[in-house]
Structure 1
């Protein structure tokens, strides 16, 4: 399942631009990460909120896809807990509930250094199955 997920991620040009990597893709869960580069930081020196939000959005969609198949985000919200200061961002999402066409997923985004990991954002989203056209 992980290899298929990596193939899907490799087809997302924005994900490639940011340098996102799919670390875990199993039934009901997903994990994405990326290096916090200087060009992804805002003027105060920490990762831009849009980068943190992207990780949450894409990670909950991968988690939803793990149970629904081909899907898209219908809606999501992000609560920023603290500035994303560190070397890497890691997003971990799980499916809270899934029906046949929709799942509700949560995601927590962490900033990592060599010695610690701190929660920087929490997200909740609705993922909808889409039919191949």
Structure 2
């Protein structure tokens, strides 16, 4: 799988299209997803909604896993810790593979918001895993 394939896979996800997510980097056990922070993605206090951060972590973790497992995978679970309120103009989810076998990969993801001056702030951290879909392993 290459970045063009990963970008096409992301574009095939209607929710990702709705959020405006894009693949910034893909390959070598790593995936980076980005999305512009918009007012309609904020919660009542003006910060980026935690659900948007969770979406970005989920997808970045799974895309990173896809660099070693291929495209026929699903998230099997993840946990996220919100570290500071997320505010800025860009959300960047940077995920890497920690360990991978034939059908499962464990990954971690750091989520940053980037302000107008290009300063990145770590706002959340996640870890999770993805597995090869059962139907993909049947012959």
Same fold (TM over 0.5): yes
Structure 1 distance, partners of 2:82, 2:112, is 11
TM-score, normalised relative to structure 1? 0.97
Equivalent residue for 2:83? 81
Unaligned runs of 5+ in 2: none
Equivalent residue for 1:63? 64
Q: Aligned residue pairs: how many?
A: 133
Unaligned runs of 5+ in 1: none
Deviations 1:17-60 (A, max 9, x none): 00001011102000000011000000000100000010000000
Structure 2 distance, partners of 1:34, 1:88, is 6
Question: RMSD of the alignment, in Å?
Answer: 1.0
TM-score, normalised relative to structure 2? 0.93
Equivalent residue for 2:122? 119
Equivalent residue for 1:38? 39
Structure 1 distance, partners of 2:38, 2:49, is 10
